[in-house]
Amino acid sequence: MPQRVTHPGGTGSGAPRTAIVPAGGLGTRFLPATKTVPKELLPVLTTPAIELVATEAAQAGARRLLVVTSPSKDTLVAKAIADMARRGVPKTTGTGTVPLATVVQPQPVGLGDALKCVEPLLSPDEDGVFVLLPDAVLTPPGALVAMTTVREKFGGSVLCAVEVPPSRVSAYGVLDLEAAHDGSTREALRAKGIVEKPEASDAPSRFVAAGRYLLDRSVFDALRRTKIGSGGELQLTDAIALLIDEGHPVRAVVHHGYLHDLGNPLGYLEASVDVALDSHGYVSGLRQWLIDRLGDAPRITRSRTRTPAGQARRSKQDRPQRMVQASKSRRWQ
C-alpha cells in the first residue's frame, strides 16, 4: 500500500522543471470543428492555444513540457509541437528553447489520470510540477510567476483562483478559501477545501480553480488513493481535496483579470477579442470596429425583427450602452 505523504509546511524549491499540458480531451463542446482540429490547436487570434500555455510555462521557469494527448490526436499534436520546436518556441527565460514531448493517455478518463501518465517520466529529485490547461486562457498573463513566488516562500501546492459569477461556478472546481495569517498577502489565500463542479447553491465560494496549478509531488500519491469521481473520471480536484484534508499546505493566488474557456464557442470568441485588444497591431482597429458595430446593432436588429405591439423600441443610444455595461460585467475584480 502506498505510503501517505503529508507536508505540514516548509519552503518549496521554486519553479518546477516539468510543465504538464493535458490535451487528451475529446472537445465535444466545440464540435464539429474538433472533428478535424484538436481544440488545443485552434488559434487564439494568431497563436494556437497550446503555444500560449507553453510560452507561459517557459516564462515561469519550466525547462520541459510534456503534452498529454489521446491516441487519435497524438499525430496532429506531435506535428504541432515539432513545428513549434523548428520555430524556437517556447523560449526559455534565458537564450534557449524549452523541449516538448507528447505522452499518450489511452482513455480520456479525467485530468487526474492524465497526470498519472506523466509520473513515470519525472526524475526522482523533482518535487513538483506545473499543470496548465490549454483550454483556459488567463489575461493578463503572469499567474504562474506569482504562484512560484508563493511556493518558494511557503512550500506546498499553489493554485490559481479567479472569482466568477454564480452562474459559472458549476463549470469549475470551486475553492473554499480563507486568509492564511502567516505573513502571506491577501492574494495568497489558504485553501480549506475544493469541490468539483457544485451547483451554485452548494458552492463554498465564487473562487474557481483557473486551470493553472503548481503541485507538490505528493499529489501523485494522492491520485493513487483517489476514487473515480464526477463524470466517471479521476478528478484532480478530489486528489487536491484529499491533500488538504491530510494537512498538506495548499494556497491559492487570486488572479484579477479574465478567465476564458476555450472549450466552448463563446469563451473562444471572448479570448480572441481579449487577446486582440492587448495587441498593439490590432487594438486600435478592433476597438473602433466594436464601437461602430455596437452602435449599428439596434438598426440591424430592427431590420430583422418586429417589435411586439405596445412594446417600445430601445433607442440607438440606449442599446449600445447596455451592451457595453453587460460586457463589463464579465470582468471579475
* Mean pLDDT within 250-278: 91
CATH number of the domain bearing residue 211: 3.90.550.10
Residue 255 lies in a domain: yes
Phi, psi of 110 (to 5 degrees): 115, 155
> 11 with 155: CB under 8 angstroms?
yes
Number of folded domains that form the chain: 2
Say if residue 62 is in the same domain as residue 173.
yes
Output the pLDDT for position 66.
95
Residue 8 lies in a domain: no
pTM of the model: 0.81
* Mean pLDDT within 312-325: 43
Alpha carbon separation from 281 to 77, 118, 276, 277 (Å, rounded): 28, 38, 8, 9
Last residue of a domain, one of 275, 290, 317: 275
Residue 256 lies in a domain: yes
79-131: pLDDT as tens digits: 888 888 888 888 766 657 888 889 999 998 999 999 999 999 999 999 999 99
How long a stretch of residues is the chain?
A: 333
Stronger pLDDT, 299 or 79, i.e. the higher one: 79
Q: 305 is in which domain, residue-wise?
A: 280-328
Output the pLDDT for position 14.
66
Say if residue 244 is in the same domain as residue 316.
no
Output the pLDDT for position 83.
87
Instruction: In whole angstroms, give the CA distance from residue 151 to residue 146.
Output: 9
Say if residue 297 is in the same domain as residue 152.
no
Report the SS3 class of residue 271. Answer: helix
Say if residue 235 is in the same domain as residue 313.
no
Residue 26 lies in a domain: yes
Output the pLDDT for position 130.
97
End-to-end CA gap in the chain: 45
158-199: pLDDT as tens digits: 999 999 999 999 989 999 998 866 555 556 899 999 998 899
pLDDT at 318 over 60: no
42-53: pLDDT as tens digits: 889 989 999 999
Residue 2 lies in a domain: no
pLDDT at 157 over 90: yes
Residue with cell 518549496: 12
Instruction: In whole angstroms, give the CA distance from residue 258 to residue 271.
Output: 9
> 84 with 37: CB under 8 angstroms?
no
Output the pLDDT for position 111.
94
Last residue of a domain, one of 275, 300, 320: 275
Last residue of a domain, one of 240, 256, 275: 275
pLDDT at 270 over 80: yes
> 211 with 261: CB under 8 angstroms?
no
Flag the least confident range among 12-16, 209-213, 278-282, 300-304.
Answer: 300-304
Say if residue 87 is in the same domain as residue 30.
yes
Output the pLDDT for position 230.
83
Stronger pLDDT, 305 or 285, i.e. the higher one: 285
Say if residue 253 is in the same domain as residue 284.
no
pLDDT at 5 over 80: no
Say if residue 206 is in the same domain as residue 316.
no
Residue 296 lies in a domain: yes
Instruction: In whole angstroms, give the CA distance from residue 254 to residue 215.
Output: 16
- Whole-number average pLDDT of the chain: 82
E strand or H helix at 239? helix 236-245
Say if residue 175 is in the same domain as residue 62.
yes
Instruction: In whole angstroms, give the CA distance from residue 114 to residue 100.
Output: 16
Say if residue 264 is in the same domain as residue 292.
no
321 pLDDT band (50/70/90 cuts)? very low
316 pLDDT band (50/70/90 cuts)? very low
Stronger pLDDT, 311 or 96, i.e. the higher one: 96
Output the pLDDT for position 313.
45
Say if residue 38 is in the same domain as residue 170.
yes
What does 81-140 look like in DSSP terms, one character per residue? HHHHHHTT-SB-SSSSB--EEEEE-SS---HHHHHHHHGGGS-TT--EEEEE-TTEEEES
Percent of the chain with pLDDT over 70: 81
* Mean pLDDT within 139-166: 92
Question: CA Rg, the chain, in Å?
Answer: 21
Residue with cell 503529508: 6
Residue 306 lies in a domain: yes
Residue 119 lies in a domain: yes
17-71: pLDDT as tens digits: 999 999 887 777 777 777 778 888 888 998 999 999 999 999 999 999 999 998 9
Angle in degrees, 0-180, between the axes of helices 143-154 and 49-59, rounded to the nearest 10: 40
Report the SS3 class of residue 236. Answer: helix
Instruction: In whole angstroms, give the CA distance from residue 30 to residue 261.
Output: 11
Beta strands 47-48 and 43-44 are antiparallel
Output the pLDDT for position 239.
96
Flag the least confident range among 131-135, 247-251, 281-285.
Answer: 281-285
Say if residue 251 is in the same domain as residue 136.
yes
* Residue 135 CA, distance from chain mean position: 6
Say if residue 81 is in the same domain as residue 94.
yes
Report the SS3 class of residue 291. Answer: helix
Query: Does a cis peptide bond (omega within 30 degrees of 0) precede residue 106?
Result: no
Stronger pLDDT, 15 or 198, i.e. the higher one: 198
